[in-house]
Amino acid sequence: MHTLDQLNRGELKGVVRLQLSENLSTFPEAIFDLADSLEILDLSNNNLRELPADLSRLKKLRIIFCSNNRFTQLPTVLGQCEKLEMIGFKSNQISIVPSDSLPALTRWLILTDNQIESLPEDFGRLVRLQKLALAGNRLTSLPESIIHCRKLELVRLSANQLVAFPDVLLDLPRLAWLAFSGNPFCAERDSHHDFKRVQFCDLECHQVLGQGASGVISLATWRKNTFHFSDSVAIKIFKGEVTSDGYPEDELDACLSVGSHNNLVQPLAKVAEDDCSALVMELIPVHYTNLGQPPSLVSCTRDTFLMSQQFSIDKIARIIQQVDQLVAHFCEKKISHGDLYAHNTLINEEGHVLFGDFGAASKYANLSPQQQQGVERIERRAVGFFIDDMLGLCIEKDRNSDLYKALRSHSFS
């Protein structure tokens, strides 16, 4: 994080990335002094309502984040920035997205948690677009031209006002991660009245174990253990009314609807109070670690991995077999996970994997048979990307094996 004083004193000359959060209500003119170097501009968590008309003076600008501000329209000046490819305006009050606000090079567009009712009819001209996050808006439909966004791989449409499933998405050849719960066309949530309930005051929270788009997971112990669960558990406390993946209520519904499986973290009880929604789960043993790391600004939709990670082809095959079996289980339950990624996968030394995050999950049993098949094709495509990532971690001596070649034929590279 930088400061306005540093900027005004000229101490940031030559920086590639600038991050300012100081309740700004106007765009600092001194930012233009960085025009020869600045590529990433993060002005999130301020009080901005507009950007300067000459923003394109930042001739190297590739990425801009202005989340948690007061914009009511996506600024048209963005479309004049020739190198701009990543745009993030989450949690503003945006209701209008003009066509000329979207640069032709856009490949990452995050407009989660706004008030958008429609996208430009010529949206399909964004042929480089890979990641599109629109959860928590007021969309009633998508423009048909989106069919031309052939590189789209991740789409978030949950918590909108879509009156019908957007069939146009089923023809996108690379779409692999789709979330659409919480729309009028979706089936009603199951109340899960028979699932165990506890009170938040029954638990004592300790250190944070991890967090994602939808909530924070902490270690917890019992003050009052009515159901005689293990002394130590994990509790996921959901964030707010809407997240980047959708409504917490839909995540909870999907998690409970999918049932038990050897590769799923077991839910134990739920907390449903006016000021707290949470899920109590089995505590994952400490020897399980994350299989991958989240996508970066460079990789966009694809996971990243530690330089030291390598597996034998036999271990990779075992990992893939478990994911295949889990996806078959999801299909049987008519639930799309929507976020099948290595960074959402935990693994132990023996190669056993666990999934537990259903933030992007969507129930689809109410869709037509053709739509159901399309949703399942999208989910299988995510498995193909997963296989491709795993094979990229294969030790060199196993890359000529028949097993490696067989798995490669099922990847989506």
Distances (CA, A) of 295 to 78, 108, 109, 188: 24, 12, 15, 32
Distance CA 2, CA 12 (A): 9
Secondary structure of residue 312 in the 3-state scheme: coil
Please choose, from the candidates 232, 243, 281, the residue with its C-alpha nearest in 3D space to the C-alpha of residue 110: 243
**Cα 221-224-225 angle, rounded to 5 deg:** 75
Q: Assess contact for 341 and 303: CB atoms under 8 A.
A: yes
**DSSP state, residue 197:** B
Distance CA 320, CA 276 (A): 37
What b/e string do you get for 342-355 counting C-beta neighbours within 10 Å, with b at 16 or more? bbbbbbeeebebbb
What dihedral angle (degrees, nearest 10) is formed by the CA atoms of 251, 255, 258, 263? 130
Distances (CA, A) of 25 to 2, 49, 71, 114, 320: 17, 7, 11, 19, 50
Q: Please name the residues in contact with 22: beta carbons below 8 A apart, sequence gap of 6 or more.
A: 3, 4, 46
Q: Assess contact for 355 and 263: CB atoms under 8 A.
A: yes
Pairs from 165-174 (Cβ < 8 Å, separation ≥ 24): 165/367, 165/371, 166/141, 166/142, 167/371, 167/374, 168/142, 168/144, 169/142, 169/374, 169/378, 170/371, 170/374, 170/375, 170/377, 170/378, 171/147, 172/146, 172/147, 174/150, 174/381, 174/412
Q: Annotated binding residue at 83?
A: no
Radius of gyration of the chain (CA): 22
Known binding residues for ATP are: 236
